[in-house]
Amino acid sequence: MPPQIDVRLDRVTKRFHEVVAVDDLSLEIQRGEFFSMLGPSGCGKTTTLRMIGGFEEPSEGAIYLGETDVTGLPPFKRDVNTVFQNYALFPHLTVFENVAFGLRRRKVATDQIASEVTAMLELVELPGYEARKPSQLSGGQQQRVALARALINHPRVLLLDEPLGALDLKLRKQMQLELKRIQTEVGITFIYVTHDQEEAMTMSDRIAVMRAGRIEQLGNPEELYERPTTPFVAGFLGVSNLLEGEVAGHDGALVSIRLRDGTVLRAPADGVAASGPVRVGVRPEKLRVEAGEAGPSDGLNALAGVVLDASYIGVSTQYVIQTADGHRLTVYAQNLDTAGASEAMAGGQRVHLTWKPQHTFVISGPAEHVAGDPHLPEEGETDV
């Protein structure tokens, strides 16, 4: 059975005056999916979400919920609900009335409302809070009420706009798990907007990494992390080491890439061009660092270098290694064998790095110097 599409964006563009916030974006989100839109402030993620919710109208393109074109419909005629940044709870209404708000607007019978609200508050683990006002709740509790208020309507799609942004780290971790549990339990499609890559990775089935109004890369968390296709994605999802080189030749499932100093590295060949400049990437935790000159390679990629800096951080030691041709690589070495800071390798020590070709990713195209992401002002998006 082909996956059912819940939300479809067809070449959607949104302009605020002359600023393009969302640029010719197409997207399909499947039923029951936990879908995240990840990106820095101003990347267009919130605008996209608001267009799905009906709070903004696309300048061009169309939005479908299931088979229905909802492009011109106001929010209250769309089968979606939103959990707003900072929750937007109604301060003058009790928790009960906040949660019941959508049902009342749809003229659901009073006794049914009561039982549904009770059930929903149980789901978000706030039973007995019916009579409180939002101002009497903690941030985490308000977050749960906002969730309950949206979910009680059993929308086709739930939109969440940085819902955990205002919570402290510990609570955020806890709520991430809880959101995922609730999503699994109710089976509703979640579209989740965040600028926190770890949060997106923890919960999402698929993630769209956005930049400057476009989707930079779309895939499941593993794909994005292990095989980023752009330096932006590689950099946005954790630390990555990028080395400039040129394709030297294909060898079955692997491709050989020659660095400037002549070192040849191998990487999975998927989607890599037959020749031309590329960048080779590897995540810091995939690297093994050993003292001395490189030994036999037995199929591993290897690089020689010098320790520039070593910081012992308990669970691991973080090294900065400079290679012969001047690249600096970050390495996270698990402290499996070392017993403390004294046993870590000191600065100036000659070392060699090894890693599996399978852990290598290749980004096509010549190096461009991206100092940072151009920050587009995007109306309606506030990152707190």
Partner 1 sequence: MPRTRRRLTPYLLLLPGTAWLVLFFAVPMGYMLVMSLQQGSLSEGYHLTWNWGIYPDIAVKYGNLFLRSVSFALATTVLTLAIGYPMAYTIAFYGGRLKNALLLVVIMPFFVSFVIRTLNWRMVLSDNGLVFGTLKDAGLLDQSFRFLATPASVIFGLTYNFLPFMVLPLFVALEKIDRRMIEAAADLYASRAQAFWRITFQLSLPGVVAGSLLTFIPAVGDFINADIIGARSPDVAMIGNVIQRLFLNSNDFPAAAALGFVLVAGTMLLVGVYTRIVGTDRLTS
Site map for partner 1, 193-232, x if CB under 8 A? ----------------------------------------
Q: Is 5 exposed, middle or buried (0-12, 13-18, 19+ CB in 10 A)?
A: middle
Stretch that binds partner 1, among 70-78, 230-238, 239-247, 362-370 (CB under 8 A): 70-78
Stretch that binds partner 1, among 48-56, 239-247, 310-318, 344-352 (CB under 8 A): 48-56
Backbone angles phi, psi at 337, to 5 degrees: -110, -25
Nearest distance from residue 108's CB to partner 1, in Å? 10
Q: Return the closest-CA partner of residue 164 out of 189, 200, 134.
A: 200
Strand order in the sheet with 206-211: 80-83, 157-161, 189-194, 34-38, 206-211, 214-219
Nearest distance from residue 55's CB to partner 1, in Å? 5
Q: What letter does residue 43 receive in the DSSP assignment?
A: S
Give the one residue of 3, 11, 68, 92 binding partner 1; rule: CB under 8 A: 92
Q: Determine how β-strand 19-30 pairs with β-strand 34-38.
A: unpaired
Distance in angstroms (rounded) separating the CA atoms of residues 96 and 148: 10
Site map for partner 1, 97-116, x if CB under 8 A? ----xx--xx----------
Q: What letter does residue 250 receive in the DSSP assignment?
A: E
Give the one residue of 22, 37, 43, 80 binding partner 1; rule: CB under 8 A: 80
Stretch that binds partner 1, among 90-98, 216-224, 336-344, 353-361 (CB under 8 A): 90-98
74 lines the binding site for partner 1 (CB under 8 A):
yes
54 lines the binding site for partner 1 (CB under 8 A):
yes
166 lines the binding site for partner 1 (CB under 8 A):
no
Distance in angstroms (rounded) separating the CA atoms of residues 375 and 123: 39
Distance in angstroms (rounded) separating the CA atoms of residues 159 and 49: 7
Stretch that binds partner 1, among 59-67, 89-97, 120-128, 173-181 (CB under 8 A): 89-97
Give the one residue of 149, 279, 283, 286 binding partner 1; rule: CB under 8 A: 149
Q: Which amino acid is at 182?
A: I
Nearer to partner 1, 75 or 377 (CB): 75
Nearest distance from residue 29's CB to partner 1, in Å? 18
Q: What letter does residue 343 receive in the DSSP assignment?
A: G
Q: Return the closest-CA partner of residue 291 out of 353, 336, 338, 340.
A: 353
Stretch that binds partner 1, among 88-96, 260-268, 300-308, 314-322 (CB under 8 A): 88-96
